[in-house]
Amino acid sequence: MLRGRSLSVTSLSGLPVWEAERLPVEDILLFEVSWEVTNKVGGIYTVIQTKAKTTADEWGENYFLIGPYFEHNMKTQVEQCEPINDAVRKAMDAMNKHGCQVYFGRWLIEGSPYVVLFDISSSAWNLDRWKGDFWEACGVGIPHHDREANDMLIFGSLTAWFLKEVTDHADGKHVIAQFHEWQAGTGLVLSRARKLPISTIFTTHATLLGRYLCAANIDFYNQLDKFNIDKEAGERQIYHRYCMERASVHCAHVFATVSGITAIEAEHMLKRKPDVVTPNGLNVKKFSAVHEFQNLHVMYKARIQDFVRGHFYGHLDFDLEKTLFLFIAGRYEFSNKGADIFLESLSRLNFLLRMHKSNVTVVVFFIMPAKTNNFNVETLKGQAVRKQLWDTAHAMKEKFGKKLYDGLLRGEIPDMNSILDRDDITIMKRAIFSTQRQSLPPVTTHNMIDDSTDPILSTIRRIGLFNNRADRVKVILHPEFLSSTSPLLPMDYEEFVRGCHLGVFPSYYEPWGYTPAECTVMGIPSVTTNLSGFGCFMQEHVADPTAYGIYIVDRRFRSPDDSCNQLTQFLYGFCKQSRRQRIIQRNRTERLSDLLDWRYLGRYYQHARHLSLSRAFPDKFHLEPTSPPTTDGFKYPRPPSVPPSPSGSQTSSPQSSEGEDDRDGDDDERYDEEEEAERDRLNIKSPFLLNHVPKGKKKLHGEYKN
């Protein structure tokens, strides 16, 4: 093993975890390559951005991110500087002398990691030559009409060139290169074809073909072993992209995916079983509000209530203190994100609440961007009416207060008739008349361009959730990402999530699932599925996820109708909880945030790096006999106190759910927040040990045959 300052992964308690696996980080250069470095396209941007601080703290000046150069991103996100590392500086100089434009600086995010950015357009004149190189390397041709694939080839060729220059000037230092998704994979293929002395990791966050197949409403998971992969890719005209991805997978020393469910998918789609699962985390410190998260919930809930007052003006015949706010957010993928099953379950929930004559109202927000013309006039009018009523009430309060104050100073109890004159009564009547409306509150806040064919609106018409007075479930489609500058709902996404009661993400295809993870670290319960990486991760780590506010719908082994019924029961059970039960559940949910912290999940990435080094340089790194991090014997236990659902302590009807804060002294004695929290802290701090593979059982690294 090389000598130098060594790095070991530690548990959150500070205890060393992998004593057998230490890396001399001063003698290793770590590069992460992704098209989404400083370039937000999807979820990989979040992965890299949130992980940067933890990785930079571990690797210091030897950690670099490689991505594409875009002028706007460079000006707004990167502080240019000169590279300190000699190998990186010499590599950049060599490439710039040959006409390439390579930029270096610090990415202005937490951790301030170094970034190396390649200008794709300045090197496009090499495209034909690099296509020939790629064909010679792996026999994959890229059509000229696929602009994205051509850009990825240029990016990959520049990456491989850069890594070659780095290794030529590395002065004995080893190089680890981790490539994210097929967009960066061409650099890996070319690096291996040129036999560069580097260890490589390829991480797929979702298989390319898997996304296409699920978008076509195919019974994906039950047909995994039956697909003719080449035929399916060819029919969708992505065969060359699929080949680029598959070549990257098979060339890598270590193949990683982000979840167990994606590992199963990758084994069938890409014909190689992943070596390591590297779950996605969050920089939990960013979201932590210490003991204030319950207060933040109350504060931001009040702002959502203000919006609801305006949106439902004239139909506000329900008690906002007994109203629950649910939401679904993400890309507008109607089936993949589970919006179809969610709407159907809302219809059934509405029936249950009406049948039981519940006084609980559920307002559901769909935050999914779609093509729109502009804000809905009726929605804007609603907020204007609300503001006008507020101004009127405020003016009347000032006038009333002054007269009351003067009367009390004179030692008199004012007569109401003297305080409110006829003009005041007229103003109040006009205010009341202004709240009358002939139409129902709109189900969307914007004018949709494809109103007649929009999947969400079409389903709403079919199930009849039109925000009628009798409906206990109200629906609002907000086809735009949230912004604090919006005239309708001026809230950032984080503020909105904190103000809601439950996030619902019943996805069919979700390799990880950052939306429920973000809910968890903010102390908001959420619904996920066993087809999402997050749901599988929580099932593995938490003995009773429901008790901790993680409702996991079975979409893998149940029929769609059974899954819909299960989701309906989850939602109905949540509606039956008392306010006190929801507060307890939020406390438990927030405690799970340690599980999603990169300080904890970074160990999986560290193991992947160890494994890649042992395979690339077996004479210097002998780490192959160790297994990945194990969670044997570790689970958050089921809390012994207040039940997660009110079935054991309350009648089947949710009628009086909100006013029962102090209804049950026994529950107060059974629930001890500090005791539960301390027990969970001890669990998360338990060190994870690596199990050694018995002799004779070692599995050799190889590729699955076609």
Residues whose CB is less than 8 angstroms from the CB of residue 297 and which lie 6 or more positions away in sequence, other chains included: 498, 499, 523, 524, 586
Distance of CA 168 to the CA centre of its chain: 39
Cα dist. 256→207, 263, 472, 520, 584 in Å? 12, 8, 45, 25, 37
Give the percent of the chain with pLDDT over 90. Answer: 70
Q: Higher pLDDT residue, 673 or 584? A: 584
Nearest residue to 526 via CA among 328, 388, 361: 328
CA distance 228 to 210: 13
Residues 536-580: pLDDT tens digits?
Answer: 999 999 988 999 999 999 999 999 999 999 999 999 999 999 999
Residues whose CB is less than 8 angstroms from the CB of residue 229 and which lie 6 or more positions away in sequence, other chains included: 209, 242, 269, 271
Pairing of strands 23-24, 6-7: antiparallel
Q: Is the pTM of this model over 0.95?
A: no
Pairing of strands 550-553, 526-529: parallel
Q: Is the dihedral of CA 517, 521, 524, 530 positive or negative?
A: positive
Instruction: Write down the pLDDT at residue 160.
Output: 98
Degrees, nearest 5: CA angle 173-175-179 = 170
Residues 348-390: pLDDT tens digits?
Answer: 999 999 999 999 999 999 999 999 999 999 999 999 988 888 8
Instruction: Write down the pLDDT at residue 463.
Output: 96
Instruction: For residue 400, give the 3-state DSSP assignment.
Output: helix
Residues 15-29 have a mean pLDDT of 62
Mean pLDDT of the chain: 86
Residues whose CB is less than 8 angstroms from the CB of residue 423 and which lie 6 or more positions away in sequence, other chains included: none
The structure tokens listed for 630 are 């194990």
